[in-house]
Structure 1
């Protein structure tokens, strides 16, 4: 993954700002959405034209192909390893300590392993199930020298239609991670993905979530002709991104049977010192639990 200092702010393709400098400490969390400038409000107000239904159907049909092409172009060099997960989500350690046994983890939408391999390197007593929409991404995970079938099982899966129970026993997962994944799924199909994860999570198990928040800078820099629906956009490469309000996110998880433990906006800034730019980033970071029986 290219460094945050090199973000091409004029590029509408999926760029490094997906996790721009995730190693930096969180600057602020809040219950309220980010306030917009008058210029930003005007831009959103005027951006009403949606991509045609024909093109939207084509994007949905070719979603997997577009992600395979993304990984073909970028291989394993796009995203930076996410060493911050155990710092941001103490459940990764606390869950294991409380149970006194191996933690069973699912990363839904694992990409090329930028989250799971740092966890395995830390030598946590963990077994990881990892799946991704892209066949090519799954192959990159298997080719990683750290991949070990005794500690990790990776497989291709469309969370909206492929049953996770075909690869994972029902109610066997302690923690599921959804890190910048749900935003890439069509909003109409998000409930299907969450219900799929619900089935393999044990009672009392936790979902750790982080994704794009409403009015993130990347949402406001999409050019006209990129809008698919409310808070839903397409990039130049055909991949798509949704921007969540915490209220909508809570409704999605509640509708799938989860309880909300934490649900906040995370406000940060990406700084490009060379260009003299400082842009606001908004993420939603949340924790949801499957009820005990």
Structure 2
């Protein structure tokens, strides 16, 4: 939806008002230093009711599916998952009779090895090392993306999923889930802001990296370094798929005075943090990491709670960024 000039000015005014009083520097340092503790506490509290299945992923990001398999599948998914609204970062399908993604895709895959991505062997032993197509989700949380992806890739041999989070509670939630199969998925604790912390796979080994509502929780001064590091993990032709909070989203405007850390960067009552992006910022961040912009769009939605008769303006940024070069086949 398009905002009127009045709505735009009102949003800017609210954001300016709630940023007048900044959090004290010593508290800001504490939120940065103890970020993993706050997220661990978050998952301890919400572990029984936080999970929301992101089946919309395959509509918004069909690139998750290996090339050569996806065209017919993408059409089937789009036709069958009739999602008409969003709740936070999740689509809600109003038609509950729509088939599961797995049932739609099972007819699309023929498991032909000729259609799989072929990559050069690194000569190193690592989880998923013998797979031809590798996906990483950074900031996997409770598995909102992990389990829909696992449900799909079980029909496609050669695909391996890595998922990481710097909250150990989140990773344990995923590891304890009955859908986890160590032959197809590896979950691990990792802090993307820590350059000295190694990944369990070499640089240049990933086809897709998912960044879904992750960068917003990183201090703005460290975001560029995070994206630079992730870009090194991609194969030539690999992609980062991104979705996060946009500037003047309802969640930004709800912050009270005294919760602002720096411009457009806030701390919630539970100690977790959120930054709100513009398209220009996202373009600059990913371009500076050497990636080519394939998509960078502003997604504005009007959510209506009919029961409470409340209208909420949501704003997201969604992007797709590709590493230069072509995959070689042998």
Number of positions where the alignment pairs a residue of Structure 1 with one of Structure 2:
264
Q: Which of 215, 219, 225 is equivalent to 1:186?
A: 219
Of stretches 98-107 and 281-290 in structure 1, the one that deviates more from structure 2 is 98-107
* 1:114 corresponds to which of 141, 144, 151: 144
Pairing partner for 2:272 from 224, 231, 239: 239
Query: 2:194 aligns to what?
Result: 161
Residue in structure 1 matched with residue 302 of structure 2 by the alignment:
269
Query: 2:47 & 2:25 partners in 1: Cα distance?
Result: 31
Q: Distance in 2 between matches of 1:217 and 1:163?
A: 36
Shift of residue 267 of structure 1? Answer: 1.3
Match of 1:214 in 2: 247
Aligned-pair distance for 1:215? 0.8
1:100 aligns with 2:116: yes
Aligned counterpart, 1:134: 167
Superposed CA offset, 1:168-215 (max 9, x none): 122110010000000000011111211221121101100000000111
Query: 33, 43, 62: which one pairs with 1:61?
Result: 33
SS at match of 2:204: coil
Partners of 1:79 and 1:282 in 2: how far apart? Answer: 22
Q: CA deviation at 1:76?
A: 4.4
In 2: Cα distance, 1:181 partner to 1:33 partner: 29
Provide structure 1 residue ranges, at least 5 long, that are not aligned to the other structure.
1-27
CA distance in 2, matches of 1:222, 1:96: 45
Aligned to 1:45: 16
Aligned to 1:12: none
Residue deviations 1:92-146 (CA, integer Å, cap 9, x gap): 2253638524431000111121101111112342210110010010011100000
Instruction: Tell me if structure 2 keeps the 8 A contact 1:95–1:103.
Output: no
Corresponding residue of 1:228: 261
Cα distance change of structure 1 residues 252 and 149 upon mapping to structure 2, 3 Å threshold: same
Counterparts of 1:190-201 in structure 2 under 5 Å? 190-201=223-234
Q: What is the alpha-carbon distance in structure 2 between the residues aligned to residue 290 and residue 33 of structure 1?
A: 37
CA contact (8 A) 1:164 1:200 kept: no
Q: In the TM superposition, what whole-angstrom CA distance separates every residue of 1:217-248 from its partner, at most 9, and x where no partner exists? A: 11111100011111111100000000000100
Partner SS for 1:266: strand
Paired residues of 1:34 and 1:215 also in contact (CA < 8 A): no
Structure 1 residue 48: deviation in Å? 1.9
Return closer, same or farther for 1:124/1:224 CA change in 2, 3 Å cut-off: farther
Whole-Å separation in 1 of the counterparts to 2:311 and 2:26: 37
Distance in 2 (CA, whole Å) between partners of 1:71 and 1:65 is 10
Correspondence list, 1:141-152, <5 A: 141-152=174-185
Match of 1:8 in 2: none
Pick one of 65, 72, 88 that aligns with 2:44.
Answer: 72
Cα shift at 1:37:
4.8
Distance change in 2, residues 1:165/1:62 (3 Å): closer
CA spacing shift, 1:129–1:163, aligned 2, 3 Å:
farther
Distance 1:119 1:202 in 2: 20
Residues 1:283 and 2:316 aligned together: yes
Inter-partner Cα distance in structure 2 for 1:41 and 1:171: 41
TM-score (norm. length: structure 2): 0.75
